[in-house]
Amino acid sequence: MKKIAVFTSGGDSPGMNACIRAVVRTAISKNVAVSGILQGYNGMIKGAENFIELNSRSVGNIIQRGGTILKSSRSKEFMTKEGREIAYQNLKKEGIEGIICIGGNGTFTGAEIFYNEYGIPSIGAPGTIDNDLYGTDLTIGFDTAINTAVQAIDKIRDTAESHGRIFFIEVMGRDTGFIALAATIAGGAEMVMLPEVKNDHVQLINFFKSRSETKKSFSIVVVAEGNFEGGASAISTILNKEIPGFESRVVILGHIQRGGSPTTYDRVLASKLGYGAVNALLAGEKNKMCGLINNQITLTPFIDAITKKKPLNPDLLNLVGILNN
Ligand code: F6P
């Protein structure tokens, strides 16, 4: 290959820039030119103005920056046959022979369909704070996101203790509770409500009744946004109705979890996976996600990464019940 493209797509995650940097510098070290596509699949469809040549200097001073210098999007147009045809013509014009896509589920689904239709090979690097991809122990951005969530919980804990209050803190995680579970353990929260566990409000009510018996003065409950009974506001409303005199506060951490300077862990992970993805593409691999399993760079077919479910660690779930006493 003489020229490849790199882009970021879907929800941004801290460490994407470190990954772009590793992709560009690895490719250049092998005499392969790199084009950066701005705004993900939308930019691929818009064409020339969204394709920029990248060299070692253009990715200088970005390893410490959150967000993505290549911008991102969730493209509706790429989901249409017409959109993908235009994208293909644009890649052909630019002489792109292979793609490195940094993103999550939707990103890899798009890349898989695109290969089946037009034969352009892709290798993915898992960039999402949700950590919800099969085929990698951790995704780029997850470590930073949980550190951000835990710093916020620590602050809320101060005021919760001062007033003896109950706080429901909502963290991101549409379909999975990886952020919620890690933030619960590290933030010393007493309960967690997850999309994966039918943790209904009856259990929570019982928990708060026993809590007053043990005379705990304040409580923190972490709720994943995708919890099946609703987010933190919905849960607090249910408890307000069910327990007379129950009073609580709700904090939704939201998009602050997606921003900020990446942690050391995320920078190293992103650098390894960017390097691994380029090497795989140049070695003729395609339609695979480059992840890290047991500290080894591993390739997993896109189809498995997007369809297989990565389970929560049951030991961590048990631990919440032991540590909250
Ligand atoms: O996929 C990452 C994520 O941050 C999810 O945790 C969250 O549900 C979603 O993106 C929010 O997406 P958007 O920023 O498009 O509203």
Q: Does residue 315 fall inside a structural domain? A: no
When pLDDT is cut at 50, 70 and 90, the band that residue 244 belongs to is confident
Residue 221 banded pLDDT, cuts 50, 70, 90:
very high
Ligand 1 close to Cβ of residue 22 (< 6 A): no
In a domain, 316, yes or no: no
Query: Which ligand 1 atom is at minimum distance from the Cα of 172?
Result: 6
The values of phi and psi at residue 225, to 5°, are -55, -30
Task: Identify the band that residue 200 occupies on the pLDDT scale cut at 50, 70 and 90.
Answer: low
CATH number at residue 196: 3.40.50.460
Best probe residue, ligand 1, of 256, 258, 306 (max atoms within 8 Å of C-beta): 258
Nearest Cα neighbor of 11 from 159, 141, 121 is 141
114 and 19 in one domain? yes
pLDDT of residue 216: 81
Cβ of 68: how many Cβ atoms within 10 Å?
25
In the block, residue with structure tokens 């394709």: 51
Judgement on whether residues 270 and 198 belong to the same structural domain of the protein: no
Cβ contact 204:230 at 8 Å: no
Query: Is position 90 within any domain?
Result: yes
11 CB near ligand 1 (under 6 Å): yes
Residues 7 and 21 in one domain: yes
The pLDDT value given to residue 209: 79
Q: How far is ligand 1, taken at its centre, from the CA of residue 173, in Å?
A: 7
Residue 288 sits at φ, ψ, to 5 deg, of -135, 155
Range of the domain at 193: 143-258
- Asked if the structure places residue 312 within a domain, the reply is no
pLDDT level of residue 90 (50, 70, 90 thresholds) = very high
Domain boundary among 258, 274, 298: 258
Pocket test for ligand 1, best of 76, 171, 172 (most atoms within 8 A of CB): 172
- Computed over its alpha carbons, how large is the radius of gyration of the chain? 22
pLDDT reported for residue 214: 65
Residue 213 pLDDT grade (very low, low, confident, very high; cuts 50, 70, 90): low
Do 147 and 211 reside in the same domain of the chain? yes
In which band, very low, low, confident or very high, does the pLDDT at 217 lie, cut at 50, 70 and 90? confident
Whether 135 and 150 map to the same domain: the answer is: no
What pLDDT does 199 receive? Answer: 63
Residue 212 has pLDDT above 80, yes or no: no
> Which residue owns the Cα nearest ligand 1 atom 12?
11
Report the chain's mean pLDDT, rounded to a whole number. Answer: 96
Looking at residues 192-213, what average pLDDT do you find? 82
- pLDDT in the model for residue 173: 95
Residue type at 120 in one-letter notation? I
Q: Say whether both 149 and 296 belong to one domain.
A: no
For the Cβ of 132 lying below 6 angstroms from any atom of ligand 1, the answer is no
Indicate if the alpha-carbon torsion angle 192, 197, 202, 207 is positive or negative: negative
Q: Determine, yes or no, domain membership for 191.
A: yes
- Distance in angstroms (rounded) separating the CA atoms of residues 238 and 221: 14
Of the residues 12, 130, 132, 266, which is catalytic?
A: 130
> What is the percent of the chain where pLDDT is above 70?
98
Q: Domain count for the chain, please give it.
A: 2
Window from 81-90, 141-150, 194-203, 229-238 with minimum mean pLDDT: 194-203
How much helix, strand and coil, in percent to the nearest 5, is found in the chain? 45, 20, 35
In the predicted model, is pLDDT for residue 194 greater than 80? yes
In the predicted structure, residue 180 carries a pLDDT above the cut 90 = yes
pLDDT given for residue 205 in this prediction: 87
Task: Assess whether 137 carries a catalytic annotation.
Answer: no
110 vs 87: CA distance, rounded Å: 12
Task: Specify whether 42 is located in the same domain as 136.
Answer: yes
Residue 105 reports pLDDT greater than 90:
yes
Rounded Cα–Cα distance for residues 24 and 42 (Å): 21
> 243 and 153: one domain?
yes
Examine the domain organization and report whether 168 and 239 are in the same domain: yes
C-alpha–C-alpha distance, residues 187 and 153, integer Å: 6
135 and 147 share one domain:
no
Q: What is the pLDDT of residues 261-297, one digit of tens each?
A: 999 999 999 999 999 999 999 999 999 999 999 999 9
- Give me the pLDDT at residue 84, please: 98
pTM: predicted TM-score of the whole model, two decimal places: 0.97
* CB-based contact 22:53 (threshold 8 Å): no
Residues 173 and 104 in one domain: no
CB 247 within 8 A of CB 166: yes
Q: Of 258, 277, 292, which closes a domain?
A: 258
Residue 22 inside a domain? The answer is: yes
320 domain residue, yes or no: no
List, for residues 2-48, the tens digit of each pLDDT value. 999 999 999 999 999 999 999 999 999 999 999 999 999 999 999 99
CATH number (domain holding residue 289): 3.40.50.450
Same domain for 267 and 137? Answer: yes
CB 18 within 8 A of CB 274: yes
